[in-house]
């Protein structure tokens, strides 16, 4: 454990329940519990898992010029970002994008939620609250806007999996009312009791929460923001009411394998200090209808337009569960054996497997009779030349070399976007 690592309010609970702990983002966090990372991963795909995500940071951006500041610093166009109609961001809605520097390099990715017309909650990665807060403040100039870092001022739990809706219903004061009209990337309530929004989502004991239809696993679920002092009791209650439905606590190892299988990037690993172009996440940028120009100006825009030789980032899937390390010196080889790039992430998604050349999930409704998910390695590579889906490359580290396929998607039949009424 790193000296000086921070602890979330749930740290003692994790230690008391046999969690294997490790340092992540400056925090002492559970990597897996005695059930093991494989079972935790499978639980989220088939039933539900709960994660302590209180290490995540958040920033309040408020004032008459709050929207202007985010439009300037954030990649998403807040005037055209919601749904297929590309409606403006509005109270109760959130959106995913990134913060770039002038070179077009990623400072961090983020979900921005509009609490009210002049108030936004910016959720960033562990340890990044101060950095992104300073970035925003530095570009505010004389504008009428306040930026406040909320690091360690709230607790956060991620409840993920197809049974998450049934479980969260058991701890809400008025579940039918709270869960009504709550599509993907929307939210209700606030964790601050003084907020006018707090009454919109409360727990059985009247504790206010911000309940968001988001997550980092690719599966149906919620992020629950809550007062830090209420975190332990709510965690215990969730596990108690969810146990009959198969809910288990999950650590960062399962979170990592789930997000990779869902083609979601890990900031500062899959996206980072290189131009944010030629990757699987074009939806994070404000592309116009032509797919080339942008609908607004933002920090880093010019650099992206001029980026040359930035390389290409691709998701990949292997042919069995063996994986390699993204260690120093690990590389990507083309079919002629030439080294063409590096490995960004490589994990094993234990919920998937191949049958007659096609990838299925244990949750796929059309999986072949007798299909068994034995796991496939997956992740992201960054290469110097353009590849096409279906093309094979080799990835290697100091121990082994394995063949993988460049793909457009990895774990099929994910549930994150399904209508809430169908999950209850």
Domain at 399, CATH number = 2.40.30.110
How much is the pTM? 0.97
- 268, part of any domain: no
Q: Are residues 237 and 378 in the same domain?
A: no
Q: Are residues 202 and 336 in the same domain?
A: no
CATH assignment of the domain containing 163: 3.30.1360.120
Residue 411's domain spans which residues? 311-424
Q: Are residues 319 and 293 in the same domain?
A: no
Q: What is the pLDDT of residue 217?
A: 98
pLDDT less than 50: residues of the chain: none
- 186, part of any domain: yes
- 1, part of any domain: no
- 266, part of any domain: no
- 267, part of any domain: no
Q: Are residues 47 and 63 in the same domain?
A: no
Q: Are residues 317 and 415 in the same domain?
A: yes
Q: In this structure, what DSSP letter does residue 357 have?
A: T
Q: Are residues 50 and 60 in the same domain?
A: no
Q: What is the pLDDT of residue 309?
A: 82
- 158, part of any domain: yes
38 membership: H or E segment, kind and range: helix 37-46
- As a whole number of angstroms, the distance between CA 143 and CA 124 comes to 23
Q: Are residues 23 and 136 in the same domain?
A: no
Q: Are residues 303 and 323 in the same domain?
A: no
Q: Which residues of 16-51 are buried (b: 16+ CB within 10 A; e: fewer)?
A: eeebebbebbebbbbbbbebebbbbbbbbbbbbbbb
- 265, part of any domain: no
Q: What is the pLDDT of residue 5?
A: 86
pLDDT tens by residue, 146-160: 999 999 999 999 999
CATH assignment of the domain containing 108: 3.30.70.1400
Q: Are residues 162 and 123 in the same domain?
A: no
Taking each helix axis from N to C end, the angle separating 252-261 and 37-46, rounded to the nearest 10 degrees, works out to 50
Q: Are residues 291 and 210 in the same domain?
A: no
Q: Are residues 111 and 96 in the same domain?
A: yes
238 membership: H or E segment, kind and range: helix 231-242
Domain count, the chain: 3
- As a whole number of angstroms, the distance between CA 129 and CA 18 comes to 30
Q: Are residues 362 and 410 in the same domain?
A: yes
Q: What is the pLDDT of residue 328?
A: 87
pLDDT tens by residue, 344-402: 999 999 999 999 999 999 999 999 998 999 999 999 999 999 999 999 999 999 999 99
Q: How many angstroms separate the first and last alpha carbons of the chain?
A: 41
165 membership: H or E segment, kind and range: helix 164-169
- 204, part of any domain: yes
Q: What is the pLDDT of residue 38?
A: 98
**How are beta strands 27-32 and 6-7 bridged, if at all?**
parallel
């Amino acid at each position: 454990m790193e000296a000086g690592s921070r602890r979330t309010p749930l740290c003692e609970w994790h230690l008391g329940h046999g969690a294997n702990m490790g340092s992540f983002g400056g925090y002492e966090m559970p990597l897996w519990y005695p059930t093991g990372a494989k079972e935790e991963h499978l639980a989220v795909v088939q039933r539900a898992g709960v994660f302590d995500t209180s290490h995540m940071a958040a920033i309040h951006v408020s004032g008459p010029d709050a929207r202007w500041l985010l439009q300037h610093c954030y990649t998403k166009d807040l005037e055209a970002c919601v749904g297929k109609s590309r409606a403006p961001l509005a109270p109760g809605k959130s959106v995913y994008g990134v913060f770039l520097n002038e070179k077009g390099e990623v400072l961090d990715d983020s979900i921005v939620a509009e609490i009210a017309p002049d108030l936004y909650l910016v959720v960033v990665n562990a340890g990044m609250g101060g950095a992104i807060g300073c970035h925003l403040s530095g570009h505010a100039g004389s504008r009428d806007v306040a930026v406040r870092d909320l690091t360690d001022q709230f607790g956060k739990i991620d409840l993920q999996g197809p049974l998450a809706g049934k479980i969260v219903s058991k701890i809400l004061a008025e579940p039918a009312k709270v869960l009504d009209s709550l599509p993907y990337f929307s939210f209700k309530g606030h964790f601050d009791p003084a907020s006018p929004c707090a009454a919109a989502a409360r727990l059985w004991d009247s504790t206010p929460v911000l309940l968001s239809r988001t997550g980092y696993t690719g599966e149906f679920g919620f992020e629950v923001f809550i007062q830090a002092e209420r975190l332990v009791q709510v965690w215990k209650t969730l596990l108690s009411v969810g146990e009959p439905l198969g809910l288990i606590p999950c650590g960062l190892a399962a979170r990592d394998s789930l997000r990779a299988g869902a083609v979601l990037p890990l900031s500062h690993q899959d996206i980072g200090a290189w131009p944010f172009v030629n990757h699987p996440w074009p939806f994070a940028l404000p592309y116009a209808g032509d797919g080339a120009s942008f609908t607004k100006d933002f920090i880093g825009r010019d650099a992206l337009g001029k980026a040359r030789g930035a390389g290409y980032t691709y998701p990949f899937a292997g042919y069995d569960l063996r994986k390699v390390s993204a260690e120093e010196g690990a590389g990507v080889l083309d079919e002629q054996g030439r080294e063409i790039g590096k490995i960004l992430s490589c994990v094993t998604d234990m919920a998937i497997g191949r049958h007659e050349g096609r990838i299925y999930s244990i949750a796929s409704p059309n999986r072949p009779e007798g299909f068994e998910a034995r796991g496939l390695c997956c992740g992201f590579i960054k290469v110097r030349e353009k590849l096409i889906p279906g093309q094979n490359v080799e990835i290697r580290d100091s121990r082994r070399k394995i063949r993988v396929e460049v793909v457009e998607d990895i774990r099929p039949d994910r549930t994150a976007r399904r209508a809430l009424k169908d999950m209850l």
